[in-house]
Amino acid sequence: MKKNYVSQFIGFTFLRFCVFIVIGILLIILWDVFSKGACAISWEFLTKAPTNGMTKGGIFPAIVGTFFVTVITAALSIPLGMGCAIFLNEYAKDTKITRLIRMSIRNLSGVPSIVYGLFGVVLFVQILNLSTSMLAAGMTLGLMTLPWTITASEEALKSIPNSYREGSLALGATKWQAIRTNVLPYSIPGMLTGVILGLSRAAGETAPILFTGAAFFLPFLPKSLSDQFMALPYHLYIMATQHHDIEGVRPLAYGTALVLITFVFGMNIFSVVLRYQLRKIKKE
Amino acid sequence: MQGTAMKNEKFLNATSIFRSQATTQTSSKSVRGESASPVKKNIKIKVESFNFYYGNTWALKNIQIAIKENNVVGIIGPSGCGKSTFLRCINRMNDIIKNTRAEGFIYIDGKNIYEKDQDVVTLRRDVGMVFQKSNPFPKSVFENVAYGLRINGVKDQRVIAQKVEKSLKDAAIWDEVKDRLSDSPFSLSGGQQQRLCIARALAIEPRILLLDEPASALDPIATSKVEELIHQLKKEYTIIIVTHNMQQAARVSDFSAFFMMGELIEYDATSKIFTNPSNKITEDYVTGRFG
Amino acid sequence: MQKRHLDEELRILTTDLLKMAALVEDAIHNSTEALKKKDKELAEVTICADKKIDELENIVEERCIDLFALFQPVAIDLRFIATAIHINAELERMADLAVNICQRAMELPEQSAVKALADISKLSDIAKTMVKKAIDAFVDRNEELAQEVILTDKEANRLRNDIIRELVYDHMAKDGSVVPRTIPLLLAARDLERICDHACAIAEDVIYMIRAKVVKHHRELL
C-alpha cells in the first residue's frame, strides 16, 4: 500500500512541476513585455501616428488597422464557420465524405499561417483582384480562422444534450425549428467563446497579412476597405527585425507588444464575460 | 368506427387480440375490468408484422399488437429487449437515428404511419412522448409548456396562457408551479420536472401519449404521483408506457406486453399477465425466476 | 395525503364485502324464520339465495388476488386485503351454515313446537349482531367493536349449551319419540353457534388488521 502512495506522490509532483513551468514561462514573458513596454505607453503613443522614420510618435494607425481587420475577419468567419458547423453537426449524415470533410477541416487548422498568406495573395489579391488591401487581409485571416471557428462551434453544438433536440422533435417541431429554437440559443455562448479565441489569435498573426494588405508605414489611416493598413503584429515585426535602428526603437517595440497582448487578452476576457452573461440570461 | 374496429379484428385474426378481448369481457369482475368503461373500445393503434433493424441487428421481430383507445398499455421486458425501440417506432422517433430500417405496418386510427405520404411532424403532434430522463428546456416553466404551442404556430398569448394552465392542471402540477411560472424548471424537483415534461407533451393535445420509463429516475413518492397522473390521463388519452419496473406496469396498465429479444412474447390484460400468464417465459420473468 | 387509485379499488372491495355481509345476515335471519315458522318455501328461497353469495365470494377473492398482483400492497393495505380474503371465506362459510339451517327447517316435522325455538331465535339474533358488528369493525377499523364481538361469543356458547341441554334433558331424555323432531333443532343451534364462531374469527382478523397482532388462539393478547 505504501508503495502506491509513494508512486502517487511522485506522479502528482511531476504534474505539478509541469504546471509550474508553464505558468512560470507565461509570467516571465508577461513580466518582460510589461516591464520594458510600460515606459513607452503614453497617451501620445496610443493616439499618434509614427514619426521620424518610426523612431518617434505612436502606433495609432496600427491599432486602428488591427481592429478593422479583426472585424472583417469576424464578419467572414463567424457566419461561415457557424453555418458549416451547424450543417456538419446537425444535418450532414455520417458518411465517408463528411468524415473526409471533417478531417480536412482539422488539418486546415494545422496549416502554417504563411501558407494562408500566400493563398490569400493568389485568391484575393490576384484572382479576385482586390489588390493588397484591408479587405484581402481580413478575408485571408477569416479563411485562416475558419477551421477554428468550425471546430469550436461544432464542439459547442455537441455540448447541447440530445434530449433538447429529441424533446423538441417529439413535440412536432421540424428539424430546423428544433435547431433554431432549442439548440442554437443554448450553444451560441459556447460558439462565441471559441470564435473569439480564434479571432484573437488571428489578430496577432503577421504572416497572412504580410503580402495581402499590411503596410510597412502609412502616415494616414485607411479610408476604405481597399486601402492598405498598418497592423500591430506587423509593426512589431518591423520594429524588432527590419528597422534601421533596432536598438533605438526597442522600447517602442515593447510598447507595441504590450498593446497587442492587451488587445488579445481583452478579446479573451470579453469572450469569457460574454459567455458568462449569456449563460446567466438563459438560466434566468 | 365500431364497424372498422370489428373489421380490423377480423382482419388481424391474431390470437392476442381475441384473447385480450375475451379477458376484458370475462374479467368484468376483476379489478381493472370493472374500473374500465363498459363501452366497447375502438382499436387506436394496430401494429402488424412490424420489424425494425439497427444496421444489421434485428431489433423488433414481427410484432403484432392492437391497442384500444383510452387504455394504458405497459411494455415490460429485460433490458435491450426492444421495448423502448418499439415505443419510439410509434412516433417515428427512430427516424432520426442513423442507419435504421422499419418494415411492416403501424396503423393509428386506421392509417399506416409508415406510409410514404405520412408527415412525421404531424404524426409527432398527435403522438406525444415523454422521455426517461426528464428533459425540461432551459426556458421558464411557462415557456417550456408553451414551447409546443409556439412551434406549432399558436400566436395568441391568451390562448397560450389558457392552454399552458390547462396542461399544467392536467399534469397535476399546477398547484405546485402556479407561483413560479417564470422560474427555471431546474429549480423544480425531479418528479415535478417529469410532470412538467408531461404537461409539455399534453399542451399540443396529442391523442396518444408515449412514456419511456417516465419514473425510472424518480423517488417512490414522485413515482406514485406520476402513476396516479397516468391513471387520470387515461380518461382522455391512449397511453403506452415502457417500464423496467414490472410492479409499475402492474399498477398503472390495463394491458401488458412482454417483450424479449425483440419479440412480443405475450400481450394480455395486466391482471392476467400478473396472475396467470399463458407463456412460461412470461411467468419466469414476472416471478423473477428469469435467467 | 396523496390520493391513490388503490384507495378506490379498496373502496369497491369494501362495498362488495358489505353487500355480502348483508346477504349473510339476511340468510341467517331467513333460515331461523323458516325454522321457527316451518316455512319450507322461505327455506328454499334462502338456499337459492346462497348461490349469489357464492358468486360474490369468487368475485371478491379474484379481486383480492388481482389487488395483490397489481398493487403489491404493503403495511395496512396488505393487512386490509389479506383480512378481506379471510372475511370473504368466513362469510361464505356462514352462508353455508345458514343453508344447513334451512335444510334442518325443511326436515322439521309440522308438530314440533318446542320452547327451545325461542332460544334459537335469540341465538340467531346474537349471530346476526355479531356478523354486523364484525363487519362494521372491519369497515370502520374499530378495534373495540371487534373485541366486543369476541366477548359476545361466550354468550353464544352458553346459549347453545342451554339449548342443547334443554333439548336433550327436557325432551329427548323424557320422550324418545321427539328425537326426530328435536335433532334438527339441536343441529340448528350448533350451526348458529358456528356462525358466531366465524363472526368471532372475523373480529380476530380485524384486530390483526388494525394492530398487526395475531390474537387468534391467543386470547390473552386481546
CA distance A150 to chain B (A): 23
- pLDDT at position A22, please? 95
Interchain proximity C67–B31, CB inside 8 Å: yes
DSSP run (H or E) holding A259: helix A250-283
Tell me which residues of chain B, numbers 232 to 271, contact chain A at a CB-CB cutoff of 8 Å: none
Which residue, chain included where needed, has cell 484572382?
Answer: A127
- pLDDT at position A17, please? 95
- Reply yes or no on whether the pLDDT at B291 is more than 90: no
Q: Say what the ipTM of the complex is.
A: 0.78
Q: Which residue has the higher pLDDT, C220 or B128?
A: B128
Q: List, as one string, the DSSP characters of chain B.
A: -HHHHHHHHHHH--HHHHHHHHHHHHGGGSHHHHHS-SSPPPEEEEEEEEEEEETTEEEEEEEEEEEETT-EEEEE-STTSSHHHHHHHHTTGGGGSTTEEEEEEEEETTEETTSTT--HHHHHHHEEEE-SS----SS-HHHHHHHHHHHTT---HHHHHHHHHHHHHHTT-HHHHTT-TTS-GGGS-HHHHHHHHHHHHHHT--SEEEEESTTTTS-HHHHHHHHHHHHHHTTT-EEEEE-S-HHHHHHH-SEEEEEETTEEEEEEEHHHHHH--SSHHHHHHHTT---
Q: Which residues of B touch C10 (CB under 8 A)?
A: none
Q: Which residue has the higher pLDDT, B168 or B23?
A: B168
- Reply yes or no on whether the pLDDT at B73 is more than 90: yes
Region C59-86 average pLDDT:
91
- Reply yes or no on whether the pLDDT at B282 is more than 70: yes
B177-193 residues labelled b (16+ CB within 10 A) or e (exposed): beeebeebbeebeebbb
Q: Which of A161, A164, A172 sits opposite B121 (nearest CB)?
A: A172
Interchain proximity A171–B197, CB inside 8 Å: no
Q: Which residue has the higher pLDDT, C219 or B91?
A: B91
**pLDDT (tens digit, 9 = 90+) per residue, B246-256?**
889 999 999 99
- pLDDT at position B40, please? 57
- pLDDT at position C57, please? 93
Q: Which residues of A touch B147 (CB under 8 A)?
A: 168, 171, 181-182
Q: Are C103 and C43 in contact (CB under 8 A)?
A: yes
Whole domain around residue C195: which residue ranges?
5-221
pLDDT band with cut points at 50, 70 and 90 for residue B13: very low
Give the residue among B71, B37, B29, B88 at the shortest CA–CA distance from B210. B88
Average pLDDT, chain B: 82
**pLDDT (tens digit, 9 = 90+) per residue, C35-57?**
888 888 898 999 998 999 999 99
- pLDDT at position B9, please? 40
Could you tell me the residue ranges of all domains in chain B? 2-286
- pLDDT at position C85, please? 94
Interchain proximity B32–C70, CB inside 8 Å: yes
Q: Which CATH class is domain B2-286?
A: alpha beta
Region B75-83 average pLDDT:
89
**pLDDT (tens digit, 9 = 90+) per residue, B123-176?**
999 999 998 888 888 888 999 999 999 988 888 889 999 999 988 988 888 888
pLDDT in tens, chain A (284 residues): 678 889 999 999 999 999 999 999 999 999 998 888 888 788 878 877 777 666 677 788 888 888 888 899 999 999 999 999 999 988 888 788 988 998 998 888 888 888 888 888 888 888 888 777 888 888 899 999 999 889 889 988 988 888 899 899 989 888 899 999 889 888 888 888 888 888 888 888 888 888 887 777 777 777 777 777 888 888 888 888 877 777 777 888 888 888 888 888 888 888 888 878 777 665 54
Quote the number of domains for chain C: 1
- Reply yes or no on whether the pLDDT at B220 is more than 80: yes
- pLDDT at position B12, please? 38
In a 13 Å sphere around the CA of C8, the CA atoms on its Cβ side amount to 13
Phi-psi category of B198—alpha, beta or left, where left has phi over 0 and alpha has psi -120 to 50? alpha
CATH number for the domain spanning C157: value is 1.20.58.220
Q: Cα B97 vs. chain centroid, distance in angstroms?
A: 20
- The identity of residue A89, as a single letter, is N
Q: Which residues of B touch A94 (CB under 8 A)?
A: 98
Phi-psi category of C217—alpha, beta or left, where left has phi over 0 and alpha has psi -120 to 50? left
Q: Which residue has the higher pLDDT, C178 or C136?
A: C136
Which residue, chain included where needed, has cell 353457534?
Answer: C193
Region C175-204 average pLDDT:
88
pTM over 0.95: no
CB-based contact, B133 to chain A, within 8 Å: yes
Nearest CA in chain B to C56: B29
Percent of chain B with pLDDT over 90: 23
C-alpha cell read off for B183:
422560474
Percent of chain B with pLDDT over 70: 86
Q: Are B265 and B240 in contact (CB under 8 A)?
A: no
Percent of chain C with pLDDT over 90: 49
Interchain proximity B35–C72, CB inside 8 Å: no
- Reply yes or no on whether the pLDDT at B3 is more than 50: no
- pLDDT at position C115, please? 67
Region C188-215 average pLDDT:
90
DSSP run (H or E) holding C172: none
pLDDT band with cut points at 50, 70 and 90 for residue B7: very low
- Reply yes or no on whether the pLDDT at B258 is more than 90: yes
- pLDDT at position B16, please? 37
Q: Which residues of B touch C69 (CB under 8 A)?
A: 250, 271, 274-275
